[in-house]
Amino acid sequence: MEPSEIMAEVWRGQFLESVHRGHIAVCNAKGDLLAGWGDPTAVILPRSSCKMLQALPLVESGAAEQFGLTSEHLALSCASHNGALIHTGRVSKWLDGLGLTEADLRCGGHMPKDAEVAKGLLCGDHCFDQTHNNCSGKHAGFLTLNKHLGGGAEYLEIDHPVQVAVKAAIEDMTGEDTYGHAIDGCSAPNFAMTLTGFARALARMADPSGLGSVRETAARSLVGAMAKHPELVAGETRACTELMRAMDGKVAIKTGAEGVFAAIIPALGIGVALKVEDGATRASECAMAAMLVRLGVADADHPLVRKRLFYEQRNCNDFSVGTIRPSQAVYQDGVGI
């Protein structure tokens, strides 16, 4: 394994206080590695950044059409949402349309990230439920596919038809066998892959023209839905939502736990996958912003891009005390890749 590269630096005044190391792969739909930092062949768990791949069987099986899913449903199937009302309300209505309830989900529940909803739960007499889970949209998609396939209720089991279909789609798109799996925070299997394989799969989502008409349609539908509804993919103040808005819906991006971030760039037919070794989200957001600028799809001066590219750290007295910024090795002053 090649050594990792410093991807982001944390400066306090004139002092370099911390660094975040990791790996990046940039691929085209042919599978060519166009650029890389650290070890692009590193095997990773993509976590939630691969939800658009997990959602492919939902569309290409015909389940999405059978149950009348819209672009909003598809965006939610790829989401790690805040648990705001715009998310939970849609998920609940989606389940109701399937003749199912929140109890049919298998993702578990947690307090939502949305401040207003969280405050309402804390001050009220209701507890969070599974619709508040950031992955409830993905699980609603799994349930829709399961309804179409006629599988059993435990749709997260590794040998369940839903997960068999997900694994097959991932292996087809990455062009490699998976390296086993682990259980994600929402209890779904998360299949390990190389960073290059992941970037290749993302590039094929960006340019699915050689994948056959069914998969091409599915890929374009999912990517288009994410770009059209950035507020459903994550939520207000979140990097995915804000960066997609800054790029006017021309790029679909998706974060994952433990410092993973993915980008799908249709205009270039390119996919970007990165992994921060220490799992820091602040570093993965910074590094992804740097990649988007260098690939010419994000404006470094746009406030929502600059917010992640050169994140200003402020203390309790609201003094500016430092920045989080990409390393020179990764950013190269924004010079195009």
- Give the model confidence (pLDDT) of 9-63 as tens digits: 999 999 999 999 999 999 999 999 999 999 999 999 999 999 999 999 999 999 9
Give me the domain span that covers residue 254: 5-334
Report how far Cα 263 is from the mean position of its chain's Cα atoms: 8
Confidence at residue 118, expressed as pLDDT on a 0 to 100 scale: 75
**DSSP 8-state code for residue 62:** S
Instruction: Report strand pairing: 320-326 vs 189-191.
Output: unpaired
Confidence at residue 120, expressed as pLDDT on a 0 to 100 scale: 81
Tally the domains of the chain: 1
Q: How far apart are CA 196 and CA 201, in angstroms?
A: 9
**Residue 92, domain CATH:** 3.40.710
Residue 196 has pLDDT above 90, yes or no: yes
Give all strands (DSSP E) within 78-167, no chain letters: none
CB count within 10 Å of CB 229 equals 22
Beta bridge partners of 43: 194
Residue 2 has pLDDT above 90, yes or no: no
**DSSP 8-state code for residue 80:** -
Mean pLDDT score of the chain: 97
Confidence at residue 112, expressed as pLDDT on a 0 to 100 scale: 86
For range 80-103, the mean pLDDT = 97
* pLDDT-derived band at 121, boundaries 50, 70, 90: confident
For range 87-96, the mean pLDDT = 98
For range 190-202, the mean pLDDT = 98
- The pair of structure tokens assigned to 171 is 């292996």
* CA distance to 42, 138, 141, 205, 257, per residue, from 276 (Å): 11, 24, 28, 23, 10
